[in-house]
Structure 1
Amino acid sequence: MGHTQHDTMRRVLRREVAGTIGLLADAEDFAAMRRYRTFTFDDHVTYLQQVEALLRSFAAQGRLTCVALFDPEEYAEFCTEHDLDPDASASRTRFTAELATTGPTMPYDGQTLAEMVPELVDETVRQSTWEYATMLLARIGACADCGVDIGRAAFARASDLLMRAIGTGGPVARHLVCSVPCDGQTLLAALHVTCADDGSPQLDETEALEFTTVLAVGIAIQSSGGLVMRTSDGTRDRVHGWRLEGERLHPLTAAEVFDAYCTGPPAPRPPHPRGRGATHRAPPPGRGGVAPATRRHT
């Protein structure tokens, strides 16, 4: 009887434990993991089917499970840093536990992996871009001539430019995209702005922080980035575009706006926060004729 009670209690407790699955969503990442003897899957489609079946079984038991993207390169680095054998399931489990605390995760609530993965990829790219941009700003340091912290000055200037750009659209919804070429890759950030009843703009603070950080990188490194803003009043859309030059945003022509907004590279892997590069999806945006608020630093 006591045995049965203990088993029942353990089953109840098991439902209280949240878990995380590290998902190899990309076929290339899956292929990279096959070099490990203890990774027994040999077909990516079958692997995805088994993961989805496992998620469904956990959900049926009332267990909360989150999904994170498993990056083989980051995993190899993690094993090296922590002196772990990468060809061991325990090492993969430990890395996945790390992802649960440091990386983007998404709770499984019955959706298919086909529905979940694009959102998870987008969130991972977004967070990695912000971390990478923040690291770049912190590393730039102070101006050799005046001692001003270049990253901080660039962020302040970017905040001002963003507010000025938003102010050009009037009391309508706006969607902004900022792209900044940097060290062989393109950093991208997006921001959606709605309107309050009084016409004042409303935006998500986290999105605004990430957007401003990416724009600040462009200012700090004197990149030829850009900004595109699409406005909508419910009946028609208008697109405004600007090119970043130094600390200014210069208006784009209609043809330049079309090229910036309607063409761009596909979405790829996120940049590594520690500096390992990758490309992003990107078009450009901005507001022209804005006088500089801070000194240009090189």
Structure 2
Amino acid sequence: MRRALRREAPSIVALLADERDFTAMRPHRGLPCADHRAYLRQMDGLLRSLLSQGLFVTVTLFDPAQYAEYCADTGRDPGTAASRARYTAAVTATGPGVPYSGQPVRRLLAQLRHETDRQAAWDRATDVLTAAEARTGGGRELARRAFERASRALVALIETAGTGTHHVVCSVQQPHGAPLLAVLTTERTASGRIHLAEADALVFCTVLAAAAVSGGSAGIVVRSTVTGGRDEVRGWSLRDGWPQPLTEAEVFNAYCTDAATGEPVPPEPGVTYRSGRPLGPPPHG
């Protein structure tokens, strides 16, 4: 009976994402593995064992710096398993989590990083929209109009890209802090149907709307997989809240320049750089 009831209780597992996080936790008691690679092997075995028992397992990221703050705020000993378990339960309630269905742990970590980045972009873009509403007195109507325009821009970008798989990236420069970044992978079939992850599309449109209301410098890149195995890259910049096409030279310069240093980087093999296509006039309102 207890085993049957156990299957009704979900399990939560927090993973240390990389060697740096693993090293940060090494001073604490309870980590028997000698290195991060061995740790991931053991965690992979643990996850498979839980899944084999018919349990629903959610995986989240274990952030050592956030954990230290949690222990300081709650007065808990950071070296105990009980403290780590309580922290894991706390972050899962508010942070990103990925259901475990047997995928390799490396793929699981990639999914978790994507979820973490997506939530961070959503939070920051929402803050920008809220600040713009307060500054202009436009209320929620300002954000609604900006989001609707961004949604139409996304559809226009995908329709213009044509049939195939497209990787769409929106980058918004901020006066303070790192750029806002939204990433979306979509597929447009020969019949015109568009397949995409709704959560990614929501974040993409929120980031694009935040750029429009804040007047921030924003660029959009669409990388499309075309027949023959080559990829085509096209680009746009945001002007007056609507994407305007870049020339082929501008796309090449943007894609082949290191964003951090400004230094040129070699063109990627198998990639053709194209000018952005016009999206038509922006919607009114």
TM-score per shorter chain, which class? 0.7 to 0.9
Alignment partner for residue 255 of structure 1, among 218, 237, 249?
A: 249
Q: Is residue 146–residue 209 contact of structure 2 (8 Å, CA) maintained in 1?
A: yes
What amino acid is aligned across from residue 243 of structure 1 in structure 2? S
Is residue 222 of structure 1 aligned with residue 229 of structure 2? Answer: no
Alignment partner for residue 12 of structure 1, among 4, 7, 17?
A: 4
Alignment partner for residue 133 of structure 1, among 97, 118, 125?
A: 125
Q: Deviations over 1:102-130 (max 9, x none)?
A: 33323333333233222222232223322
Equivalent residue pairs, number: 269
Residue 233 (structure 2) aligns with? 239
Is residue 21 of structure 1 aligned with residue 21 of structure 2? Answer: no
Q: Unpaired runs of 5+ in structure 2?
A: 261-274
- In structure 2, the residue corresponding to 1:244 is in which secondary structure? strand
Residue 157 (structure 1) aligns with? 149
Tell me: CA distance 1:191–1:60, structure 2 relative to 1, closer, same or farther (3 Å). Answer: closer
Residue 199 (structure 2) aligns with? 206
TM (normalized to structure 2)? 0.76
Q: Is residue 142–residue 148 contact of structure 1 (8 Å, CA) maintained in 2?
A: no
CA RMSD of aligned residues (A): 3.4
- In structure 2, the residue corresponding to 1:168 is in which secondary structure? helix
Is residue 46 of structure 1 aligned with residue 41 of structure 2? Answer: no
- In structure 2, the residue corresponding to 1:17 is in which secondary structure? coil
In 1, distance between residues paired with 2:188 and 2:279?
A: 25
Q: Deviations over 1:151-185 (max 9, x none)?
A: 44432332333233334334555432111122331
- In structure 1, the residue corresponding to 2:221 is in which secondary structure? strand
Please list, as runs of the form range in 1=range in 2, the aligned pairs for 1:262-277 lying within 5 A after superposition. none
In 2, distance between residues paired with 1:109 and 1:202?
A: 23
Q: Which moved more, 1:73-82 or 1:248-257?
A: 73-82
Q: Deviations over 1:51-86 (max 9, x none)?
A: 222223323433333321111222233344545443
In 1, distance between residues paired with 2:20 and 2:105?
A: 17
Percent of aligned pairs with the same residue? 43
TM (normalized to structure 1)? 0.73
What amino acid is aligned across from residue 75 of structure 1 in structure 2? Y
Q: After TM superposition, give the deviation of residue 146 of structure 1 in Å.
A: 6.6
Residue 182 (structure 2) aligns with? 189
Q: Is residue 249–residue 286 contact of structure 1 (8 Å, CA) maintained in 2?
A: no
Q: Which moved more, 1:124-133 or 1:34-43?
A: 34-43
Structure number with greater CO (CA < 8 Å, separation at least 6) is: 1
Q: After TM superposition, give the deviation of residue 246 of structure 1 in Å.
A: 4.4
Q: Is residue 21–residue 67 contact of structure 1 (8 Å, CA) maintained in 2?
A: yes
In 2, distance between residues paired with 1:173 and 1:115?
A: 21
In 2, distance between residues paired with 1:146 and 1:105?
A: 35
